[in-house]
Amino acid sequence: MADEQSATKKKCMGSDCDNDAGSLQCPTCLKLGIKDSFFCSQDCFKKNWVTCPRRKAGETRTNCLTRPHTSLCTSSETYNPFPTFPYTGPLRPVYPLSEHRTLPKSIPHPVWWQDGNPKYSRSLINRNKIEILDAAGQQAMRKSCKLAREILDIAAAAAKPGVTTDEIDRIVHEACIERKSYPSPLNYNHFPKSCCTSPNEVICHGIPDKRPLVDGDILNIDISIYHEGYHADLNETYYIGDKASADPENVRVVEAARECLEESIKAVKPGVLFREFGNIIEKHAKKKNCSVIRTYCGHGINKLFHCPPNVPHYAKNKAVGECKPGMTFTIEPMIALGKYRDVTWPDNWTSTTIDGKRTAQFEHTLLVTETGVEILTARTANSPGGPVSLPTVENGASA
Ligand code: MF3
Ligand code: CO
Q: Is the CB of 224 under 6 A from ligand 1?
A: yes
What percent of the chain is modeled with pLDDT above 70?
A: 84
Q: Give pLDDT tens digits for 295-314.
A: 999 999 999 999 999 999 99
Give the pLDDT of residue 40. 83
Report whether pLDDT(67) > 50: no
**Residue 74 burial by CB count (10 A; 0-12/13-18/19+): exposed, middle or buried?**
exposed
Of the ligands numbered here, which is closest to the C-alpha atom of 225? 1
Residue 217 counted as an annotated binding residue: no
Question: Does ligand 1 come within 6 angstroms of the Cβ of 333?
Answer: no
Alpha-carbon separation of residue 343 from 41, 223, 372, 388 (angstroms): 46, 22, 36, 29
pLDDT digits (tens, 9 = 90+) for 69-102: 333 444 458 999 999 999 999 999 999 999 999 9
* The domain defined by 114-375 carries CATH number 3.30.2320.20: no
Query: Is any ligand 1 atom within 6 A of the Cβ of residue 217?
Result: no
Is the distance from the beta carbon of residue 196 to the nearest atom of ligand 1 less than 6 Å? yes
Q: Does the structure show a pLDDT above 80 at 56?
A: no
For residue 29, the model assigns a pLDDT of 62
The secondary structure of residue 23, as a DSSP letter, is S
> How far is the centre of ligand 2, averaged over its atoms, from the C-alpha of 363 (Å)?
7
pLDDT at 20 (0 to 100): 84
Q: Is the pLDDT of residue 168 over 60?
A: yes
pLDDT over threshold 60, residue 186 = yes
d(CA 230, CA 182): 10
The mean pLDDT of 100-115, rounded to a whole number, is 97
Q: How far is the C-alpha of 17 from the C-alpha of 162, rounded, in Å?
A: 32
Query: What separation in angstroms does the CA of 123 have from each of 62, 152, 303?
Result: 57, 31, 11
User: Residues with Cβ within 5 Å of ion ligand 2?
Assistant: 233, 330
CA separation for the pair 115, 301 (Å, rounded)? 21
As to burial, measured by CB atoms within 10 angstroms (0-12 exposed, 13-18 middle, 19+ buried), residue 28 is middle
Q: Name the residue ranges covered by the structural domains of the chain.
A: 114-375
Given a cut of 80, is residue 225 above it in pLDDT? yes
The Cβ-side half-sphere exposure at 36, using a 13 Å CA radius, reads 14
Distance 8 CA to ligand 1 centre (A): 56
Span from the CA of 222 to the centroid of ligand 1 (angstroms): 7
Compute φ and ψ for 337, nearest 5 degrees: -75, -30
Dump pLDDT digits (tens) for 145-163.
999 999 999 999 999 999 9
222 is known to lie in a ligand binding site: yes
Mention every residue, 6+ apart, whose C-beta is less than 8 A from residue 145: 232, 234, 365, 376, 377
Q: How many residues does the chain have?
A: 399
* Best of 224, 328, 345 for a ligand 1 pocket test (most atoms within 8 Å of beta carbon): 224
The residues with which 234 forms a beta bridge, in sequence order, are: 223
Q: What confidence score (pLDDT) does residue 76 get? A: 56
Locate the ligand 1 atom nearest the alpha carbon of residue 233 and give its number: 1
Q: Helix, strand, or coil here: 176?
A: helix
CA of 222, nearest ligand number:
1
Residue bearing the CA closest to ligand 1, atom 2: 222
Q: Is 299 assigned a ligand-binding role in the annotation?
A: yes
For residue 180, report the phi and psi dihedrals to the nearest 5 degrees: 50, 45
